[in-house]
Structure 1
Amino acid sequence: MGSLSHSKLDLDKEEVEEIVSGSVVNKLNKISTTLDSFGAETRGIDRVLPEEREKNFTKVCIQVLGLWLSGCGGLTSMSSYFLGATVYGLGLKDSLISGLVSTSIGCAIAAYFSMMGPRSGCRQIVGARFLFGYWFVKFVALVAIIGTLGWSVTNCVLGGQILAAISDDKVPIEVGIVIISIFSFFVAVFGIKQLLRVETFLSVPVFIGVILLYIVSERRFDYPDTVSTGDSITNKGDFLTFFALCYSVTATWGTMASDYYILFPENSSDLTIFCITFFGTLFPTIFGAVIGILIGNSSYYYEPWNEAYEQLGIGGLLNECFKPWNGFGKFVLIVLFLSLISNNIMNTYSAAFSAQLSAVAISKIPRWFLCIAISSVTMIAALVGRNKFSTILGNFLPMLGYWVSIYFILLLEENTIFRRKRFRHLFIKEFENEKKYYENNENNYNFTIWNDSSRLTNGFAAGISFLIGVAGAILGMAQAYYIGPIAKNLGDYGGDLGMWISMGFSGLVYPFLRYFELKKFGR
């Protein structure tokens, strides 16, 4: 009798938990309905169907170009390029070559990812299911979340530095961190259409702000060009490490690039989408990169700039650059401060979808609530790491480039080898109507099965290749906390080869693993 009562009690507990859980979900859904009435996007990871897309191609094209100008053309991207001289000891020539070449390669990779957006109508991380499968993509989603959080944290810290510098330390760094976090989630909550409008609006003042930074700083560019410090092999190692950092600045857009093209017509030209993304990210990033490298070079000789950097990091350095303009200079710096909010909006928006894919339970939580949760985590992490800006930027962000490189090579090989009719026809073992679909579809993707685990690839080949690529990254990485056995041969501080070795390892094994996966499972 006692055991029966105990079982009954346990059952009651389960029922109560289910009722409470259901009540919470219902309340969140009611809030979602309210937000929907205000025009907010309540859609989660669901695919955007072709008939739901924007019919005016020119309109969405202008909005996305504005988004890239706002997100890439401000302080977020620029901040990495100061480190060539200030952290890695590279001269002006080496900083320019390393920074600009790597940035261009990263833009090309992000542009390649973006082409999947109009084709699929799926968010970038949802589209990754066609490569990693329904289950392994959850791990990939977690990696993507960490990446976006890393960028958001650096934005918050830099914003805090700027407000502290402008106010002569009267406004603590913590205030700037809180401001950026609040504004970022507020816009991200309202979804893609509002995001595109806000980003397009911010792009003009941000671009003008960077031009004014060129003008106000130009008077200090008459200092002699810096020369890379250290012996020849150490300089090469620093060159490669800075290369990896700048590559990550633009390549990591690939983890979310498709998110901003889901409203484009399904028949949008791949070449057009590639060019929009490539040039849309390249020009504003390069524009900010050059001024960042020039200021970093001049700060090596100009003592006031160097002291400002030592006291309040990049925020203090920028404030010192604008000092000749007094109050107007502070106003321009506040305008550039908006670019940090702009970038964080994009990060928060995309991270919510990665969160929904990371676990079944989380997928039931509305996107708007996840935006709030992600912003809260970002704010806390930024508050904790507020005094470690250069460490976070220089050591954490290149790691994001490793996994993007792996993701890129796997997708490239999947598209160019296994999604072609001549190969796919040999192994497909699915339904007759799907066979017909593949035969008639030049891209060999059936995006209608984006949420069907029984018809998506198993992801074994991509998963194993990913792990092998991680092993390659470990061998070639050069960070403050660890230098791989290959990287340590390049000077006193090593040279970061992680992205190249990880890409090579994954790309070498994936074709063989994918071949056997198709032969075994037919999907």
Structure 2
Amino acid sequence: MSGLSPSSSHDKEKGVVAEESTVHAAEADPEEVLVKRYGRLGPLLSKLFASGVEARGVERVPEDQRETKNMWNNLLMWWSVNTVLTTIPIGTLAQEFYFLTLPHAIATILCFGALGGVATAFISTMGPKTGLRTMIITRFSSGYFGGTIYSILNILTQLGFSVTAVILGGQTLASINPGTLPLVVGIIIIGVLSLIPCFIGYQYVHYYERYAWIVIFVIIMFLWGLGGHAGFDVNAQKPLEDKGRALSADILSFGGIVFGSFTGWAPVAADYNCRLPADSSSTKVFLLTFFGLWIPICFVEILGAALMTITNQAYGQAYAEGSTGGLVAQVLSPWGGFGKFLLVLLGLSVVANNIPNTYSAGLAMQSLGRPFAMVPRFFWTFLAFVIYTVAGVAGREHFSEILTNFLSILSYWTAFFIVIVAEEHFIFRRRGGPLGGYNLNDWDTPSRLPVGFAGILAGCFGVAGAVVGMSEVWYTGPLGKDAGAEFGADLGFELAAAFAAVTYPPLRWLEIRLTGR
């Protein structure tokens, strides 16, 4: 039945239900629970929490513990996260791998970016409504076990993002004075700086991201100006660009990468506003998240594509030898020492991008199940830091290959994940729908959550759609091959979303009829 949240009539309007049963002890006071749980280690944990380290992990934030915050911080956070060096190389792939002219690259970024921005912004609206982290929200559509599967995928996603971030940041720092700072050391520096605010937690993450974008935005404008002075050539790729079906295939494949660069934030989007009041305007949260993603990501990715049109041989050689970090260093080289100083700041800017990866990777590890949630959040955050730093050191010479394959595959699972959560929300949890809302206090009670076979099977169909539609260096699906010319077209995320969208509603309807939940 549809019900009323203990503290807000707004929840009824949104179809959100929280039963008036006793709230989990961990929700009421996670600090006290953890201190008692760890016995002799309790005093140490107590000191950590007293110093500002966040105790709450994946536990739901009850309505009476929400914080009244300016929702504009939501826009500023995403602006900081994406106005960074890490976003530039995504744009460079348009020419490096797909030989698109600048106009075609810009159109692809804007259109596929808008699609990905809408999907991620929807997920962000679930945070204030539920008070839950994103991976816990998936339990209401795919059950406890299905939520665990999504958590595993999310862990891999956030660690993958982190690997690309620390490699690019390390490359940039190492390129400032070649031979003085080893790439390995640069990677470790970026990793450590990313860990510090995440170890402390939610409040410090928001505080850092509120202001981090300001300086880097100015530097990005400098790059536009210096790049334009060096000479953008709109037709530089014209002789190399494909025609007809092959061109369509290139646009679709690059579009999948752009879509992944947006929806890569969807599995963590609710993590950063679950403490907003439950009556926060969903429209405002949606719009602030959308524009906080779409404007900076498009702006910086288009910069990356534009820099690749500079025909000066020195710029091409710099990219060949040092990838994006080398290219950016060459763009700033006319300013001498000041340019190197800006390069240092750009290299460090990836910290803002890597902070949500690190923080949410720890939350995703807690979301694997109750035994994992019992371990303090900061431990998993530290473990994530160790894993991606070691992986970054190991893969430091293969940045472009890692980025291309990772972002393409990423778009596949995030596409069907978003579709399943959206259909659950708008079809089955709507006011007057089969379930009438969410019993939010059931978030950690498997017997009261959906069994999950509908969500898991629909996800499997989504995987099948991705397999038949994908076009990667190592595999091209039959539909992906037919859609393109010589190398096929990557239709992975489109078919993954379509297959899941068609199969989830009837499967979920059957699940509700058989189980009542």
Normalised TM-score (structure 2): 0.90
The Cα offsets for residues 341-399 of structure 1, whole Å up to 9 and x where unpaired, read as 11111101011111011244322221111111100000011111101111011111211
1:41 and 2:35 are equivalent in the alignment:
no
The Cα offsets for residues 215-240 of structure 1, whole Å up to 9 and x where unpaired, read as 22111234352225234322221111
* Letter matched to residue 280 of structure 2: S
TM-aligned CA distance change 1:376 to 1:174, over 3 Å:
same
- Conserved 8 A contact 1:29-1:366: no
1:261 and 2:273 are equivalent in the alignment:
yes
The Cα offsets for residues 392-416 of structure 1, whole Å up to 9 and x where unpaired, read as 1111121111111101111221122
Alignment partner, residue 294 of structure 1: 306
TM-aligned CA distance change 1:89 to 1:51, over 3 Å:
same
- Conserved 8 A contact 1:105-1:251: no
* Letter matched to residue 281 of structure 1: L
- Conserved 8 A contact 1:475-1:484: yes
Alignment partner, residue 493 of structure 1: 487
How far apart are 1:100 and its partner, in Å?
Answer: 1.7
1:249 and 2:243 are equivalent in the alignment:
no
| Aligned counterpart for 1:112 among listed residues 115, 122, 145 | 122
- Conserved 8 A contact 1:236-1:491: no
How far apart are 1:504 and its partner, in Å?
Answer: 0.8
How far apart are 1:488 and its partner, in Å?
Answer: 1.6
Distance 1:339 1:358 in 2: 31
SS at match of 1:76: helix
- Stretch moving more, 173-182 or 232-241: 232-241
| Aligned counterpart for 1:134 among listed residues 133, 144, 148 | 144
1:70 and 2:63 are equivalent in the alignment:
no
* Letter matched to residue 471 of structure 1: A
TM-aligned CA distance change 1:31 to 1:232, over 3 Å:
farther
TM-aligned CA distance change 1:505 to 1:166, over 3 Å:
same
How far apart are 1:24 and its partner, in Å?
Answer: 11
Alignment partner, residue 320 of structure 2: 310
Distance 1:378 1:312 in 2: 21
TM-aligned CA distance change 1:353 to 1:29, over 3 Å:
farther
| Aligned counterpart for 2:282 among listed residues 267, 270, 274 | 270
* Letter matched to residue 259 of structure 1: D
How far apart are 1:45 and its partner, in Å?
Answer: 0.7
SS at match of 2:432: helix
SS at match of 1:423: coil
Alignment partner, residue 463 of structure 1: 456
The Cα offsets for residues 272-305 of structure 1, whole Å up to 9 and x where unpaired, read as 110110011111112212211110222xx22111
* Letter matched to residue 275 of structure 1: L
How far apart are 1:212 and its partner, in Å?
Answer: 1.4
How far apart are 1:170 and its partner, in Å?
Answer: 2.4
1:51 and 2:45 are equivalent in the alignment:
no
How far apart are 1:520 and its partner, in Å?
Answer: 0.3
- Conserved 8 A contact 1:44-1:366: yes
Of Structure 1 and Structure 2, the greater helix share is in 1
| Aligned counterpart for 1:510 among listed residues 504, 507, 513 | 504
1:143 and 2:156 are equivalent in the alignment:
no
Alignment partner, residue 164 of structure 2: 154
Alignment partner, residue 481 of structure 1: 474
Alignment partner, residue 27 of structure 2: none
| Aligned counterpart for 1:201 among listed residues 205, 208, 211 | 211
- Conserved 8 A contact 2:36-2:42: no
* Letter matched to residue 490 of structure 2: D
Distance 1:97 1:28 in 2: 56
Q: Please list every run of at least 4 consecutive aligned residues from structure 1 whose deviation after the TM superposition is greater than 6 angstroms.
A: none
Distance 1:397 1:28 in 2: 41
- Conserved 8 A contact 2:101-2:234: no
| Aligned counterpart for 1:449 among listed residues 442, 446, 449 | 442
- Conserved 8 A contact 2:170-2:347: no
- Conserved 8 A contact 2:49-2:55: yes
| Aligned counterpart for 2:417 among listed residues 407, 417, 421 | 407
Alignment partner, residue 220 of structure 1: 230
- Conserved 8 A contact 1:63-1:196: yes
SS at match of 1:400: helix
* Letter matched to residue 494 of structure 2: W
- Conserved 8 A contact 2:142-2:451: yes
How far apart are 1:79 and its partner, in Å?
Answer: 1.9
Distance 1:246 1:29 in 2: 46
SS at match of 2:308: helix
Pair member with larger Rg: 1
* Letter matched to residue 161 of structure 1: Q
TM-aligned CA distance change 1:354 to 1:322, over 3 Å:
same
Alignment partner, residue 135 of structure 2: 125
How far apart are 1:77 and its partner, in Å?
Answer: 2.0
Consecutive unaligned residues in structure 1, runs of 5 or more: 1-21, 429-437, 439-443
The Cα offsets for residues 153-198 of structure 1, whole Å up to 9 and x where unpaired, read as 0011101110121112321211111011111111101111011111
Distance 1:236 1:29 in 2: 60
Give the alignment's Cα RMSD to 1 decimal: 1.7
Alignment partner, residue 18 of structure 2: none
Identity %: 32
* Letter matched to residue 492 of structure 2: G
Distance 2:38 2:470 in 1: 43
* Letter matched to residue 520 of structure 1: L
Distance 2:48 2:479 in 1: 53
Normalised TM-score (structure 1): 0.89
The Cα offsets for residues 285-329 of structure 1, whole Å up to 9 and x where unpaired, read as 12212211110222xx22111111111111111101100011111
1:369 and 2:369 are equivalent in the alignment:
no
- Conserved 8 A contact 2:232-2:309: no
Alignment of 1:346-425 (within 5 A): 346-424=356-434
Alignment partner, residue 279 of structure 1: 291
How far apart are 1:26 and its partner, in Å?
Answer: 4.3
TM-aligned CA distance change 1:421 to 1:63, over 3 Å:
closer
- Conserved 8 A contact 1:106-1:250: yes
- Conserved 8 A contact 1:25-1:365: no
Distance 2:131 2:37 in 1: 30
